[in-house]
Structure 1
């Protein structure tokens, strides 16, 4: 029998953003958790793009934060259910929707985790240098080992 405290120490945080790459990262994390007795925490970040708030000198008072959160929770739950449905022995997944820039949300969520798993959008090294990316930022700043699943 697996000790519950050991499972907490074996937490795997997965960034899920409704992309094929993040679904693949979730698949990998579930398989790894099943083999190691770990737990999986799927995390989605949301935020209102700053350009909407400041580009024209107005603040977005009419934006429905609760609606955005409900949509993010629904999308995350659907992705988790779809990926878990592919497995004969699904691993339980805890889900979290957090406000903020994706990289910072994932870095905060992964504190104390055994591993963080992220998908790749497949932009390649050159595009990553020009555009930056959530996975690149997380790899550079995470306090736990971070795995990026290639596209």
Structure 2
């Protein structure tokens, strides 16, 4: 399991779900208000990572290939949502780790952790997703849970 080590700033969990994309926008605004670095954290597993395009059918991509694909996809998401020049410094952290562990490790150095209310997994009827709940219960910094827009 990899860790996310940061010093200060606003950390946000991104997994490409609609909830996490809204959290990304809110976290960027919060980083601007604080004049802080925005740390975009994306945890991945073989099950959740996009498949590398250059890997032939039937072949198994390497962990490095998956990592590079997730990194490129995350940078694309950030650029698409925040634009080419968002006006704040942004660092992207892509880790092969369960989401709660990656976000909790980021919370140890962050001033604020921002998460969506529900990610890609779980049950739609839950008030709070399991990752968000673990962050609220165990994070080492304040946590902002972003609800969907109405």
Q: Which structure: larger Rg?
A: 1
**Partner residue of 2:116?**
119
Runs of 4 or more above 3 Å deviation: none
How many aligned positions are there?
126
**Partner residue of 2:32?**
34
The 1:124–1:90 alpha-carbon spacing in structure 2 relative to 1, beyond 3 Å, is farther
1:81-120 correspondence to structure 2 within 5 Å: 81-85=79-83, 90-120=87-117
Contact kept? 1:80, 1:93, Cα under 8 Å: no
Q: Secondary structure at the match of 1:125?
A: coil
Whichever structure has more helix as a proportion of its residues is 1
Identify which of 70, 73, 76 aligns with 1:72. 70
Gaps of 5+ in 1: 1-7, 50-61
Contact kept? 1:18, 1:75, Cα under 8 Å: no
Contact kept? 1:47, 1:99, Cα under 8 Å: yes
* TM-score, normalised relative to structure 1: 0.74
Alpha-carbon RMSD across the aligned residues, in angstroms, is 2.1
The 1:89–1:108 alpha-carbon spacing in structure 2 relative to 1, beyond 3 Å, is closer
Contact kept? 1:84, 1:90, Cα under 8 Å: no
Identify which of 127, 140, 143 aligns with 1:146. 143
Q: Secondary structure at the match of 2:110?
A: coil
Gaps of 5+ in 2: 1-6, 48-59
**Partner residue of 2:15?**
17
